[in-house]
Structure 1
Amino acid sequence: MKKAVSDLNFGDLLDAVGEVVADRPALVYGPLTRSWREFSERTNRLARHLMALGLEPGAKVAFYLRNSPSYVELLAACFKARLTHVNVNYRYLDEELYHIFDNSDAAAIAYDPEFRPHVQALRPRLQKVRVFFESEIGQHGEDAQSLEQGCVSGDGSSLDVQRAGDDLYFMYTGGTTGMPKAVMWPHNNRIEVIGIARGDTAAEHARSVADSDVFPVLLPAAPLMHSTGFTSTVSALCAGGCVVLLPSPRFDAAECLSEIERCRVTAIALVGDAFSVPILEELRARGGDYDLSSVQALTSAGAMWSAGNKRALLDYFGNASARDSLGSSEGSRLGSAELKPGENTETGTFTMGPNTRVLTEEFRDVAPGSGEAGLLATFGPIPLGYYKDEARNRETFPTIDGVRHSIPGDWCTLEADGTITLLGRGSNCINTGGEKVFPEEAEEALKAHPDVLDAAVFGVPDERWGEAVAGVVRVRSVTDTDESALGDYLKTRLAGYKRPKKLSCVLQSFRAENGKMDYDAAKSLFAP
């Protein structure tokens, strides 16, 4: 029986596509190129290996990995074996890492060798984990298996597995307390909302791919452990395309531009200005050194992307358009914006998605052109909710007029012409380069210092990151408190992107009479 699109999952699509584009490249990583035939065989072997270890459908596999073939191949293997992907932010410190491993009920953890000390430190507490994998070829700790060995040993043919559209993957995102929460995405909902399938069955999709004259060559500049990098990579693979990964552990604009030229990249996945700014700096310094004519699309999601930087990039990427997608881990395709060379636009202006509404907190539709701020909401193919968090599910995924919605927390105004102008994420969440930072976590870390009486943390505008984390601390004595020492104090308590880039020490209180934080008062005391 043919499997309808409502019952498709990514494993089905990758199997079918792999058969029709076997000789095309699937992965490029520095000097390494893997064909689709190799990719299919390696991921089939790894999927069998995972199943042989006793990992049953629905078991959680934590990806503590940087961008590399190991991430992409393990992801495909998990899709094929019906295992649940769990993304791990490799910038996290031990307690944050433990929260993800424990909260997700991870049965397996795959990690790069550089992260071995963190895994070893946590290992005595990870009683739910059945198997550990290290990624690097030819190396693995004595208590871990080699991912590479799983890719090269055994049967490389397609698995005889009956998959389902409601198989899940997890995408961890920040929570209101600063601890991340897992958004549960069914494969079929994700395939539908992104528009990945070209037909009602995997076979029809594969035939369409085989008949195509155009195959994407994607360079995900964003980390694969973020939804932007993850989704763009999966979409490119399902289209029979090639994914070009940057070998350097940290983003290097010169390397990125060189790989674009060498691999004839057609699409780049960014996260707003955090990537645009260093690319522009390199282009302004050495723009004439790069042939960027192959690029057709610069795509971004997950952070603000300034109109000025879009226009500046298109001066160098003359054959491309800048495609800005408004969404979050909790809901996709809330809005979109496309800018072509020579056109103009405003930052944060989007065309509404087909299933998007703008609602008040009482779930009343905002009238176009009213100037009233509202919350973006979407319905249709949305996540199941957060894993093991019913309270947050009721808040973020309410049922309105009998229809289940996702309300991620983004505020906007609905203009008279039907476009939306994004105002920002609700409460005081800081979005710095696509990373969510909740002020309360940094504030509590600062207040643990003996010289600090109170702390307020907030975002300030930043050309590269969209927002930079900043703060004001109320101290016992301004002369006895060193702001750089406070920064050093936080280095062992918070991940780097969560730490304030600038702190101001003051003697005044910035709380209201009722004891609540007055962020406006705190910001008025901040000295940039």
Structure 2
Amino acid sequence: MPGSGMPPGFYAIARADPGRRAVIDADGATTSYGDLLARVDRVSRGLRGHGLRRGDVVAGVLPNGLDALVMLLATGQIGLYYVPVNWHLTPAEVAYILRDCDARLVVHGPALAGAVREACMRAGVTEVYEGTARLAEGWPATAPEDRTSGAVMWYTSGTTGFPKGVQRPLPSRAPEEAVPLLRWFVGEVCDLTAGDDVHLVTSPLYHSAPCAHVSLALHLGHTVVIAPRFEPEAVLELIGRYGVTNAMMVPTMFHRMLRLPPEVRQKYDISSLRQVFHTGAACPVAVKKAIMEWWGPVLYEYYGSTESAIAFAVKPREWLERPGTVGRPVPTFEARILDENGDEVPPGRPGMVYVRSATNRFEYRKDAEKTAASMRGDWYAPGDIGYLDEDGYLFLCDRRTDLIVSGGVNIYPAEVEAALLDHPAVADVAVIGVPDEEWGHRVVALVQRASQVTAAELLGHLEPRLARFKHPRLVEFVDELPRTPTGKLSRSAVREAYLARLGARTGP
């Protein structure tokens, strides 16, 4: 079926071409568009049968796989908010999200049963299902009545350390009605078209970018291949075996790919690749150039946030002409750079990045104050410092002063600090990100002790409180941390002092 004549979106494609290959799961099992739609329709009816109505919230604590896609698509056609939850979180962390989003029903993976049920008990959620099979049981594989678009609500943290749901208004239309605009946008920004392409999933679908890309792939009629996990050689093998044409990755993955021996790299055919998208962390110029020397000019970069979505983008050949840029504003977006007084600065001068778009509106769920604080009028600040060149290309100077991006994953210092301060032996603490060749940054905790305690004891204290990826790689004890007279901690000052000491220790 040629892309130009392909019906609008997943649901229509599946009805028109049910035998089309939709998903190759991590275990190699293949599911057609028709079979996937049948499961989606049954689950949609099952959710409605449980009393869920437009605007209600459903959460999924699901590993990458068919159930995660079914929940995404089922909620997407009956006007529900779907909250994908990081399965690495502790029960307490999951319970917080379930309470905050007012989840009416939770679906989880088999290996997560104990932790999720504990979280649901804490949050008071009684409708809990292992997988989607029971939700689908007894319901016909026909489209539900009164189909209307749902939306994904991702949870992201801020300077308070507590995650907040990024909630967008629900469209008052059927899912198919948004597809023409979506296809136009990704064609302009990503050179993606509807047709017989193959999309490779390499990252957890509880992150906004991988989740958005897998949804996009299905609305374009692509086949989705799910990697069991990211292993450099295994990913190369999947690309060659299935003729993968596009994928979403993070810079840490590129770094790991480049560490493969030349003889291993040469074993695999990656000539099918046309677009590999990356975001979530700054990619070193040398790494990006090395990947494109190997794979060809296929790296598409975009910059934004869970709140702003894609705000800037740059195609491969544009980037090679301006190494280091994250691109120009995408269609429907405007950008400006402001100084500390709120005045616009000229090209080449750094300031705070602001963006706005009439098509992208959001609020933090149940937190009007936080929503207002993130805006200057109708302009949103992702929180990064950068500058525009004469042609409007954005170059970032620093990614969010306090945010730590490690392996493409956001880690929020305030959340880690709050957990450490719960220990009676901790008088004060600062958590910072320190540059790391492979991961981008590693988490370091500088601790002022109130009484004797070891680093191992503090890491043990964090075990039930925070997911492992948030734990400091290093705990270092200090005599005192710099605070202002009002008690504010300057993490930038702490980071600069720490890096200066680190340089003195490792220098000549």
TM-score normalised per structure 1 = 0.83
In the alignment, is residue 257 of structure 1 matched against residue 231 of structure 2?
Answer: no
Contact 2:62 2:87 in 1 (8 A): yes
1:504 matched residue in structure 2 = 476
Structure 2 partner of 1:140: none
Aligned counterparts of 2:321 and 2:287: Cα–Cα separation in 1: 11
Distance in 2 (alpha carbons) for counterparts of 1:263 and 1:486: 46
Question: Is 1:225 matched with 2:225?
Answer: no
**Residues 214 and 12 (structure 1), Cα distance of their counterparts in 2 relative to 1, 3 Å cut:** closer
Displacement of 1:517: 1.9
> Which residue of 134, 141, 144 maps to 2:130?
134
Residues 362/89 of structure 1: CA separation in 2 closer, same or farther (3 Å cut): farther
* Residue 245 (structure 2) aligns with: 266
CA pair 102-325 structure 1, distance change in 2 beyond 3 A: same
CA–CA separation in structure 2 for the residues paired with 1:162 and 1:514: 53
- Distance in 2 (alpha carbons) for counterparts of 1:303 and 1:487: 26
8 Å CA contact 1:182–1:386 kept in 2: the answer is yes
Q: 2:189 — aligned with what?
A: none
Matched, 1:464 2:460: no
Q: CA deviation at 1:341?
A: 11
Q: In structure 2, which of residues 123, 131, 143 is the aligned counterpart of residue 158 of structure 1?
A: 143
2:65 pairs with 1:68: yes
Q: Which residue of 1 aligns with 2:300?
A: 323
Q: Name the CA distance, whole Å, in 2 between partners of 1:169 and 1:46.
A: 17
Shift of 1:152: 6.4
Q: Note if contact 1:12-1:80 (Cα within 8 Å) is conserved in structure 2.
A: no
Equivalent of residue 452 in structure 1, options 414, 426, 442: 426
Of the structure 1 ranges 508-517 and 498-507, higher mean CA displacement relative to structure 2 is found in 508-517
* Counterparts in 2 of 1:22 and 1:457: CA distance versus 1, 3 Å: same
User: Which residue does 2:389 correspond to in 1?
Assistant: 415
Give the equivalent residue in structure 1 for 2:30. Answer: 33
Residue number in structure 2 paired with 1:4 = none
Offset of residue 257 of structure 1: 1.9
Given that 1:222 and 1:228 are in contact with CA atoms closer than 8 Å, whether structure 2 keeps it comes out as: no
Question: Does the CA-based 8 Å contact 2:334-2:355 persist in structure 1?
Answer: yes
Query: 1:200/1:434 Cα in 2 relative to 1: closer, same or farther (>3 Å)?
Result: closer
Residue 177 (str. 1) matches residue 177 (str. 2): no
Cα distance in 1 for residues equivalent to 2:270 and 2:174: 30
Q: Deviations over 1:277-301 (max 9, x none)?
A: 2233336561122111111111012
Given the superposition, is the C-alpha separation of residues 366 and 197 from structure 1 closer, same or farther in structure 2, using an over 3 Å criterion?
farther
Larger CA deviation: 372-381 vs 224-233? 372-381
Shift in Å, 1:343: 3.8
Task: In structure 1, give the amino acid aligned to 2:71.
Answer: L
Asked if 1:392 is matched to 2:370, the reply is: yes
Query: Is the deviation greater in 342-351 or in 327-336?
Result: 342-351
Query: Which piece of structure 1 moves more, 231-240 or 294-303?
Result: 294-303
Using the TM superposition, name which of 387-396 and 417-426 deviates more.
417-426
Say whether residues 1:494 and 2:452 are aligned partners: no
Aligned to 1:378: 356
Give the distance between the partners of 2:309 and 2:319, measured in 1 at CA: 28
Stretch moving more, 299-308 or 514-523: 514-523
Gaps of 5+ in 1: 1-10, 136-146, 203-211
1:443 shift after superposition = 2.0
Cα distance between partner residues in 1 of 2:135 and 2:235: 30
| SS class of match (1:177) | coil
- In 2 relative to 1, CA 391–213 (structure 1 residues): closer, same or farther, beyond 3 Å? closer
CA RMSD of aligned residues (A): 3.1
Corresponding residue of 1:8: none
Deviation digits for residues 23-43 of structure 1, max 9, x if unmatched?
A: 221111132101111111121
> Partner letter of residue 244 of structure 1?
V
1:52 pairs with 2:49: yes
Partner of 1:116: 113
Corresponding position: 1:333 with 2:307: no
How far did 1:449 drift? 3.2
* Counterpart Cα distance in 2 of 1:17 and 1:253: 33
Per the TM alignment, residue 382 of structure 1 is displaced from its structure 2 partner at its CA by: 1.1
Question: 1:391 offset after TM fit, Å?
Answer: 0.3
Structure 1 residue 241 displacement after superposition: 0.9
Counterparts of 2:453 and 2:104 in 1: how far apart (Å)?
46
1:357 aligns with 2:335: yes
Cα displacement string for residues 42-91 of structure 1 (whole angstroms, at most 9, x for unaligned residues): 21111111111222222211011111111001111111222211121112
> Residue 13 of structure 1 aligns with which residue?
9
Quick check: 1:339–1:345 contact (8 Å CA) kept in 2? no
The amino acid of 1:239's aligned partner reads L
Decide which moves more: 486-495 or 452-461. 486-495
| Aligned equivalents of 2:169, 2:434: Cα separation in 1 | 36
Separation of aligned partners in 1, 2:52 and 2:321: 52
CA drift at 1:348? 4.5
Matched with 2:223 is 242
Going from structure 1 to structure 2, the CA distance change for 1:190 and 1:395 (only over 3 Å counts) comes to: farther
Matched letter for residue 313 of structure 1: I
Aligned-partner Cα distance in 2 for 1:50–1:25: 26
**Hey, what does 1:292 align to over in structure 2?**
270
Once the two structures are TM-superposed, the CA of residue 324 in structure 1 deviates from its matched residue by 0.5
TM-fit CA distance, 1:21: 3.2
> Structure 1: how far apart are the matches of 2:436 and 2:172?
35
How far the C-alpha of 1:448 sits from its partner, in A, is 3.3
Q: Is the 8 A contact 1:191 1:197 kept in 2?
A: no
Please say if residues 431 and 445 of structure 2, whose CA atoms lie closer than 8 Å, have aligned partners that are also in contact: yes
1:365-400 CA distances to partner (integer Å, 9 max, x unpaired)?
A: 33223x14122212211133111110011122443x
Q: Is the 8 A contact 2:337 2:352 kept in 1?
A: yes
Residue 473 of structure 1: CA displacement?
1.6
Aligned residue identity for 2:232: A
